[in-house]
Amino acid sequence: MADSQHEPGDLGLFLLRVAAALNTSGLTVDDVQRRVERIARAYGTTSIRVSAFPTFVMIALSDGEPTTLEVTPMGADSHRLDQIVALERLCARAERGEVDIPRALAQLAEIEDQPPRFGTMVSIIGYAVLSAGLCLVLRPSRHEVTAAAVLGLLVGALQPLVRPRPPLRVLLPVLAAFLVAAVSGFATRAGLIDTGIRPIVASLIVFLPGATLTAAVLELGSGQLVSGASRLVSGIMSLALLAFGILAGTEVAGVSTTQALSGSSHLLGPWAPWLGVGLFALGVALTNSAPKGAMTGLLIVLYAAWAAQLSGNALWGSHMGAFTGAVVLVLAASLLARLPTMVPRQASFLPGFWLLVPGALGLIGLTSWATSDGTSPSADLRLTAGSIFAVAVGVLVGTQVWDWVVSGGTAVSRYSKEPTRIGRFVATFKRSGRAP
């Protein structure tokens, strides 16, 4: 039951800060609005008005009440996995009215100030592992995997140096792209190693706007034109800045872009992506401070999405592979979130965007186009556009299917007055107290 021992101003402040925190966690504006409205209803506020945008949220508790605003800059650091887990669990309790509002405000502040689970050195090493894993997913050569790990170390070490300095934080993606491209170009020029585009893209994974572009398509499809358009422009601009950094780095190194980005033709076998998914999950856990017990869920979700994507590729083609992988990603993350020892859906769901790599494919395509004569988009760029829409539609379908499954726990079948079989299972699962 909702706790009535709180001031109305405390509830409004809590809802505003929860909305801002959910924004920072990467949820679409529709999801943010629904979550805040459910929390408000749990505490007896039924006429709340919520307007969420990528850069700010506005809330009015009732008609005639003043509107309050909280800014959430798109350039701000997103939450780590441990922060997402803590925030999701706090929101789940708040949606059931089980948390005291003043205490919840204190918990929100604690989540925002929560230190990383792992130290800086572990995070840097984890980023190198993450880069090597993603490079394996892109089917590289043996030398490219080594190059991805080295470049990942450089980018991992650059982030803690730049992030505390606001003037440089805005330039961090360009600086990172310039650094890895210049190092790669000098190595190629000296004949030390033939790196290519795959290690560069893998080392820049944290800056790739795959989730942003997918969220943009989802929001545009749901009628959120302002939010969707702003995310779309932001994602495209991020890709353009990264591509510029790569091209500038290769020019400084004194090598042609074709020579610096061509890579090796001696690629590893089909086993490489399967190993890469595991290394990628380990790198995500170390870099993003995954809480205890999260590794198992990450592995299950990522391998399920990757297997589904490969199956879709083999049966229908790359676009349907991206669609199938996104559907399975949502369903697997949602199902695991119901288990008592697993992390909430959002924590295991976000890394899947990186694995499906619409942003990575986009950077490859944009860089390839920039190094060509510029008369027509490359095949990679066209493939990326289709992949982004396929992933977005897959996420939308997976979410709708899961919502229908969960609603079966309380609703009756469409064709009878009896609950569906899966509905009875979900209802029993809820009554056991294990659902978040």
The secondary structure of 272-305 as a DSSP string is HHHHHHHHHHHHHHHHTTPPTTHHHHHHHHHHHH
Q: Measured between alpha carbons, how far is residue 370 from residues 174, 265, 373 in Å?
A: 16, 22, 8
Helical (H) or strand (E) element with 59: strand 56-60
Question: What is the pLDDT at residue 94?
Answer: 92
Of 75-79, 298-302, 316-320, 321-325, the one with minimum mean pLDDT is 75-79
Q: What is the mean pLDDT of the chain?
A: 80
Residue 37: φ, ψ to 5°: -65, -40
Burial class (CB in 10 A: 0-12, 13-18, 19+), 335: middle
Question: What is the pLDDT at residue 283?
Answer: 93
Report the range out of 365-369, 386-390, 426-430 with the highest average pLDDT: 386-390
Which residue did the predictor score with more confidence, 245 or 377?
245
Question: What is the pLDDT at residue 368?
Answer: 66
The tokens for 295 are 């590794």
Question: What is the pLDDT at residue 72?
Answer: 75
pTM: 0.81
d(Cα 150, Cα 184) in Å, to the nearest integer? 10
Residue whose pair of structure tokens reads 């299972």 in the numeric block: 425
Helical (H) or strand (E) element with 22: helix 8-24
Of 110-114, 268-272, 287-291, 346-350, the one with minimum mean pLDDT is 346-350
Mean pLDDT across 301-321: 88
Yes or no: say if 251 and 178 are a contact pair by the CB < 8 Å rule.
Answer: no
Question: What is the pLDDT at residue 127?
Answer: 94
Band of pLDDT at residue 347, cut at 50, 70 and 90: confident
- 417 Cα distance to chain centroid: 40
- Whether the per-residue pLDDT at 387 is higher than 60: the answer is yes
How confident is the model over 119-160, as pLDDT tens digits? 889 999 999 999 999 889 888 888 889 899 999 999 999 988
**Closest to 283 in 3D by CA, of 267, 302, 264, 268:** 302
60 bridge partner residues: 49
417: which DSSP letter? S
Band of pLDDT at residue 411, cut at 50, 70 and 90: very low
How confident is the model over 312-328, as pLDDT tens digits? 888 888 788 889 998 99
Question: What is the pLDDT at residue 6?
Answer: 56
Residue 263: φ, ψ to 5°: 80, -175
Q: How many residues does the chain have?
A: 436
Band of pLDDT at residue 110, cut at 50, 70 and 90: very high
Mean pLDDT across 266-288: 89
Band of pLDDT at residue 423, cut at 50, 70 and 90: very low
Sheet holding 68-71, edge to edge: 49-52, 56-60, 68-71
Q: Measured between alpha carbons, how far is residue 191 from residues 55, 137, 198, 202, 260 in Å?
A: 46, 25, 18, 21, 11
